[in-house]
């Protein structure tokens, strides 16, 4: 495979802020590509060596939360989160950025996932619950951004759903309820490509639904 490495000196900031940066990547003389990223210029993916690339951590975690209740079918827990670029509450899995504090632990992905599940659903993950990485890093839309997420599954035993709450959201996060779907309901969402209100959803929601119905989480 041909290597086409980008040098740091060929990357120029076009816009920088606390939450997002836009860099101009000159990949050939006079040829430019743009990268919208959460990373600073020293950490953009394009300049990483092959070894750095293979060992880097993602920006965030997306959580595949599967609820098991005695006498009930397993259900996938999704929420409706307001996504500002779409102006809609979209059916979404719990997700969030990896915090600097997570990087101090032995398993940053697990730490981030457990925190996001608590913040966005109110569920306290127990030591007896299974939490494991499905995929350590997947890119969102690498033609536009180097943003990437880990996919982390949490199989959680609950007596009931009374503990569910969205009152712990922080910052600009806004939520509007939950959907707990069994396999058949998940298949309907996949076949329709829309939620019950007819709204589209993200690729991460699609991936979460697919993983749930595959049954791989039981292996």
What string of DSSP letters covers 162-218? TT---TT--TT--EEEEEEE-HHHHHHHHHHSS-TTS----HHHHHHHHHHHHTGGG
Distance, in Å, from the CA atom of 129 to the CA atom of 132, rounded to the nearest integer, reads: 10
Distance, in Å, from the CA atom of 59 to the CA atom of 108, rounded to the nearest integer, reads: 11
pLDDT of 5: 81
Domain edges within the chain? 8-55, 60-218
Distance, in Å, from the CA atom of 76 to the CA atom of 98, rounded to the nearest integer, reads: 22
* pLDDT, mean of each 10-residue run, the chain (219 residues): 80 94 94 96 95 96 97 97 96 96 94 96 96 98 96 96 87 92 98 97 98 97
pLDDT of 154: 98
**CATH architecture classification, 60-218:** Alpha-Beta Complex (3.90)
């Amino acid at each position: 495979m041909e290597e086409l490495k980008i040098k740091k000196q060929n990357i120029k900031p076009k816009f920088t802020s606390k939450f997002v940066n836009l860099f101009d990547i000159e990949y050939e003389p006079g040829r430019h590509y743009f990268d919208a990223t959460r990373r600073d210029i020293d950490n953009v993916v394009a300049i990483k060596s092959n070894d750095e690339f293979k060992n880097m951590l993602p920006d965030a975690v997306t959580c595949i939360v599967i609820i098991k209740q005695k006498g009930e079918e397993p259900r996938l827990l999704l929420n409706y989160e307001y996504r500002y670029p779409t102006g809609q509450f979209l059916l979404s899995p719990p997700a969030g950025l990896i915090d600097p504090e997570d990087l101090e632990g032995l398993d940053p992905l697990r730490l981030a996932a457990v925190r996001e599940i608590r913040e966005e659903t109110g569920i306290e993950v127990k030591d007896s619950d299974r939490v494991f990485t499905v995929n350590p890093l997947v890119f969102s839309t690498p033609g536009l951004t180097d943003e990437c997420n880990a996919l982390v599954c949490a199989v959680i035993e609950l007596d009931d759903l009374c503990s569910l709450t969205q009152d712990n959201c922080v910052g600009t996060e806004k939520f509007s309820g939950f959907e707990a779907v069994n396999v058949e309901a998940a298949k309907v969402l996949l076949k329709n490509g829309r939620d019950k209100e007819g709204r589209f959803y993200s690729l991460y929601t699609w991936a979460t639904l697919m993983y749930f119905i595959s049954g791989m989480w039981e292996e």
